[in-house]
Amino acid sequence: MALEIRVPALGESIVDAVIAVWLKGEGDEVKQGEALVELETDKVNVEVSAEKSGVLQKILKQTGDVVTVGEVLGVVGENDEVERGFSQGTAVLEKKSQQKSTNGQQQPASQKVDGQKSISPLARRIANEYHIDISQVTSHDAHGRVTKEDVMSYLEKNSEHQTPGLSTVTQQSSYTDVNTTVEAIRREDPSNQTRSQVQLQTDSGGREEHVQLSRRRQTIAQRLVEVQRTAAMLTTFNEVDMSAVMEVRTRRKESFKERHGVSLGFMSFFTKAIVGALKAFPRLNAEIQGNEMILKYYYDIGVAVGAEEGLVVPVLRDADRKSFAEIESEIANLAKKARENKLTLAELQGGTFTITNGGVFGSLLSTPILNAPQVGILGMHKIEQRPVVVNGQIVIRSMMYLALSYDHRIVDGREAVQFLVKVKEYIEDPETLLLEG
């Protein structure tokens, strides 16, 4: 019995998605629980898996299509259903072949059918297109079924000599030409296509590229513009001497990693400092809903991570209750999952304040944009040795510029400046982070 592949529930407030890539092609065998298609939402990518084993009979929605929850993407059928379809198709082809023979026309190679072999629809299409005699193709499937991979393997193995089943043009092709043909097949196969490959266009001169924005990139753009339109966003700056933190890291990094299995970085210091500053200035840990200001006495800190499809902000829950080691470990894990596109919706939802570190890319100074509905975001930047005056003496210190963007509707300039000064004090005297919790 055929089973429809439907768009699953995507999470709170998400009603539609874009088909990012089909991981299987029509005619491919699938196993229960195996991923068939990847959907792209504005927050995460979601894989849709097969609910039963069988064969992907039909793909109804193509890469780049917008689909809604519950919509049918394709159909998975049992092997015997597919075999019946092959038999019917074979009969039709043989009938057409006989009709052409009566007219004195030679049956083209693309019409050849081996009735003794079971062939996947995709393999048959490729064989017909490249004039391959299926009877010459060896199956490596446990059930003797000829698959796309078998046909492509046949093409590669017969690239350096003439093959009866190939057209004249293909017989005269070089090894490189056939490899190019194989690569073309792979690109045509929806199971190997990415969204950018499908929707990429170039002009005749190759001087421009037109690439469809991903769903996530479109959402990021909409939200950033919306924040700038609705929030009274302002940024204040300060600089912090990183010498004390760097000295602690140098002195403790080996024992810290040996004990906790994770490196001691800057993020744990800044997270702790921000939590302390938020406790002193709670309006930076709030949001606006209508005519109300909601003050939050929990500290879920978002950490901005640059991923291939755009910036994502996974959330470090209850940061005030975590140790330095727990903070470093969890941030490293979230960043890894972000780069591998494995974050869940739960790991992205919520957040009361955000940290973004442009310094890892070499940024000296920038103005971060709020992550709505939050009213505060701290921007870290690169550490640079600069001459500064300490106790009347010019000395060289490792300095970092800090930027705090805030929503002026509920955060006054005085609060914002004092918040940033408090963060500066904690970083320049990191022992206070331990003494004040």
**What residue ranges do the domains of the chain occupy?**
3-77, 80-210, 216-435
* Mean pLDDT of the 241-252 span: 94
Per-residue tokens: 11: 């999470």
Evaluate whether the domain defined by 216-435 bears CATH number 3.30.559.10: yes
- Stronger pLDDT, 198 or 70, i.e. the higher one: 70
SS3 content of the chain, % helix, strand, coil (to 5): 40, 25, 35
Gap between the Cα atoms of 174 and 185, Å rounded:
17
H-state helical runs in 161-209: 168-171, 175-188, 195-199
Gap between the Cα atoms of 122 and 27, Å rounded:
6
Helices and strands, number each (H, E), in the chain:
12, 21
Burial of 174 (0-12, 13-18, 19+ CB in 10 A): exposed
**For residue 119, what pLDDT is reported?**
72
* Mean pLDDT of the 188-205 span: 50
Q: Is the pLDDT of residue 200 over 60?
A: no
- The overall average pLDDT reported for the chain is 80
| Nearest-10 Cα torsion for 384, 329, 436, 299 | 100
**For residue 69, what pLDDT is reported?**
87
- Stronger pLDDT, 361 or 188, i.e. the higher one: 361
pTM of the model: 0.64
Whole-number Cα distances in Å, 277 to 195, 252, 268: 43, 25, 14
Q: Is the pLDDT of residue 163 over 50?
A: no
Of the residues 80, 141, 177, 412, only one is catalytic, namely 412
CATH class label, 3-77? mainly beta
**For residue 168, what pLDDT is reported?**
35
**For residue 80, what pLDDT is reported?**
55
- Whether residue 141 lies in the annotated active site: no
- Stronger pLDDT, 306 or 90, i.e. the higher one: 306
Q: Per-residue pLDDT tens for 299-339?
A: 999 999 987 777 889 999 999 999 999 999 999 999 998 88
Of the residues 65, 177, 318, 408, only one is catalytic, namely 408
In percent, the amount of the chain with pLDDT more than 90 equals 41
Q: How confident is the model at residue 138 (pLDDT cuts 50, 70, 90)?
A: confident
Judged by DSSP in three states, 238 sits in strand
- Whether residue 131 lies in the annotated active site: no
